[in-house]
Structure 1
């Protein structure tokens, strides 16, 4: 019998070892678990002419911003699949290659076309899903809804599959159906506990429904099973640090930062390094807690090496946090100029919200809170366009609330806080007392 992947799709290899390692490697990738790169390398060694492990390995390189390696392996996969590969495998390789090459809209079109024919090709289906997926970084204002609707369309093909339940449940949560999303995600998590994406998705549901204490316990109980080298290890602890801030425990948040989020110690991919560090330090400062300048300076120096030029709007916004907090006006001005040029050339799908946020952050850091309010108010509904999750984007609303407080507009700030507490009634708002400055 011909080899198949875990979803029953044929694999163009005669090697038992290559097929086994490829299946395992894909599962490790879909679960965000350690060993994915090494397992895929075993598949490649067992059958160097088998294209699929090459393109999967290229995707892992892309996770870690190893662009040259990712593109070279994608190019090789294209050559190999043209010599030996089914129509499905050729489309699979091409779709992943487009994503790796940053050809966003072509990759989205190719993904959707591919899924129509092969809905159980989970690795391709994973591309538009999640907070850092193709949909989230497309500039779409409705990417949360788009992910949910895509999962609903293909749900009949997956049933009780641990990976699909994880991602479908998270899509529900981000689209506002938090109770159902949490239930579905927990179902997937219980089917495979060695699944960092599931633990992460459950934490997002807990964030949205205000289950801060339960989220803290989940991380404490589960994180010892997950190696520090895991792709989401630091980010899962970042969620725990957010919970500490909800309890106004800045010491614990800073301890988590020092343990796993500080660029000098983390093993996370560059995008997570920059966004987790910048957003946590900014929140601490905005809520009125003291953040040593050296933490900002060290993290900023590392971030500048990872993202020296304007790139994804989500990364640019977080790089602006560093530049604003360290008063690096030259870096901020240069990045803003590039962003505005891309906007003028029609090459910034997220649109005018990106430069507006950057300017507002600079005004906030310069203690011009009234201007920060003025700049953010018209674009709050468009912040979703920068991508990321709701938990990550809430930083912008937090900045707006604190700016309202510090500019004397307490009733407007109170109204926003009350709306949040209505959504998440178990939260406390004591953390905001120090934020008035």
Structure 2
């Protein structure tokens, strides 16, 4: 009898050890826990000819920050090939992703899941805020993500991973209460699901459950391996809630234990975006940020993102360069049109330059048109609050406090009652 994986997909290995290691790798990967690379290594060691195992290793290495190793693994998967249509399509889509062909990868994944909806490791590429739909640069990407997970959801039953992914989609289209209910169900099945914990934090942020959110997240983080994929970003959520509660010392402890360059073990994308966001939001709230922090972050950003192209990263890289006074680095981004939302990055970069100079009228002129379609840049609603709060602060600096309050009340009402912007309360 042919072996099947956890999701009942036939696999082209006769090695039970390889299949079991593959399943463990998928589970760890989908739950955002540390260790999937080791499991996929064990998989291909048990059956070196199992092409899908090499593809899984490629994905795990990619998310572990080892792009060279990921490309080596996917090349091995392609060389081995597979007699299975599902596995061959899976490998082709993963290869497109690792070749930098995001549009092609998105097309391949969406076609693939129509035929093989329970191929979870590949379906995952188009889920989440940071997936191929989330980073599509399209208007309406949140609705697109909701439609995608809505189509897959009936195929998975009571599966903790799909439940948490669909819950996030619900949250991002404004159904935070329904999202939280589904997320609680998913976490009851697998409490170690870091993605579920992450998305629960988003839902609680959106409905203003700061106290409950902080208590749950900080307790859960205490037992989470700091090498786990989401440790950096979950530490950012913890720091952000401390900031909203006016606890600067607690915020800095969270930043310095899991977010800032040198302490975070996350992907460079998370380190750059989360560190830049918490530094700037702290400044908006009236907390002094040591200029050395901005300089360190600018240097880190220049090392990992020397050229524009990843728009969500570029928005934060530009902020780091502007606040560090690195005008030459910033000028590249202030003139770019590269990336899935490249047309928005130049005005955002010029906004940060104007903010750093105290040119509030110039900042307003640059940022205002961006806000109309800021969702194209990517990130969650909570992450795009960086722009919403900056806009309110600019209006405040221009003496237009009432307009700033109206802006938050209409665009981000969850922040309107106690806006974390000094002087706006």
1:279 and 1:85 map into 2 onto residues whose CA distance is 47
Compare 66-75 and 23-32 and name the one that shifted more.
66-75
Compare 412-421 and 186-195 and name the one that shifted more.
412-421
2:330 and 2:32 map into 1 onto residues whose CA distance is 33
Tell me, yes or no, if the aligned pair for 2:133 and 2:145 is still in contact at 8 Å. yes
1:387 is matched with 378
1:150 is matched with 148
Shift of 1:32: 0.4
Q: Kindly tell me: are residues 104 and 184 of structure 1, through their superposed partners in 2, closer, same or farther at Cα, counting changes over 3 Å?
A: same
Q: How do 1:131-280 and structure 2 match up within 5 A?
A: 131-280=129-278
Shift of 1:179: 0.9
Is 1:352 matched with 2:350?
A: no
1:110 and 1:418 map into 2 onto residues whose CA distance is 41
1:323 and 1:210 map into 2 onto residues whose CA distance is 32
Tell me, yes or no, if the aligned pair for 1:41 and 1:57 is still in contact at 8 Å. yes
Tell me, yes or no, if the aligned pair for 1:208 and 1:424 is still in contact at 8 Å. no
1:373 is matched with 364
2:298 and 2:182 map into 1 onto residues whose CA distance is 38
Tell me, yes or no, if the aligned pair for 2:374 and 2:384 is still in contact at 8 Å. yes
Q: Which string of whole-angstrom CA distances, capped at 9 and with x for unpartnered residues, describes residues 329-350 of structure 1? A: 000012333x23x3xxxxx432
Tell me, yes or no, if the aligned pair for 1:64 and 1:270 is still in contact at 8 Å. no
Provide TM-score, normalisation by structure 1: 0.94
Tell me, yes or no, if the aligned pair for 2:59 and 2:70 is still in contact at 8 Å. yes
Tell me, yes or no, if the aligned pair for 1:52 and 1:93 is still in contact at 8 Å. yes
Runs (5+) with no aligned partner, structure 2: none
1:335 is matched with 333
Shift of 1:61: 2.1
Q: What's the RMSD between the two structures over aligned residues?
A: 1.6
Q: Which string of whole-angstrom CA distances, capped at 9 and with x for unpartnered residues, describes residues 9-40 of structure 1? A: 00110111100000000010000011111111
Q: How do 1:1-16 and structure 2 match up within 5 A?
A: 1-16=1-16
Shift of 1:351: 4.6
Is 1:28 matched with 2:28?
A: yes
Kindly tell me the number of residue pairs found equivalent between the two proteins. 425
Tell me, yes or no, if the aligned pair for 2:78 and 2:91 is still in contact at 8 Å. yes
Shift of 1:299: 2.1
Shift of 1:249: 2.0
Q: Which string of whole-angstrom CA distances, capped at 9 and with x for unpartnered residues, describes residues 235-275 of structure 1? A: 11110111112112222211211111121111111111111
Q: Which string of whole-angstrom CA distances, capped at 9 and with x for unpartnered residues, describes residues 20-69 of structure 1? A: 00000001000001111111100011111101121111112222443222
Greater RCO (CA < 8 Å, at least 6 residues apart)? 1
1:50 is matched with 50
1:222 and 1:423 map into 2 onto residues whose CA distance is 25
1:59 is matched with 59
Q: Kindly tell me: are residues 422 and 349 of structure 1, through their superposed partners in 2, closer, same or farther at Cα, counting changes over 3 Å?
A: closer
Provide TM-score, normalisation by structure 2: 0.96
Compare 415-424 and 9-18 and name the one that shifted more.
415-424
Tell me, yes or no, if the aligned pair for 2:284 and 2:421 is still in contact at 8 Å. no
2:157 and 2:130 map into 1 onto residues whose CA distance is 25
Runs (5+) with no aligned partner, structure 1: 343-347
Tell me, yes or no, if the aligned pair for 2:41 and 2:57 is still in contact at 8 Å. yes
3-state SS of 1:12 partner: coil
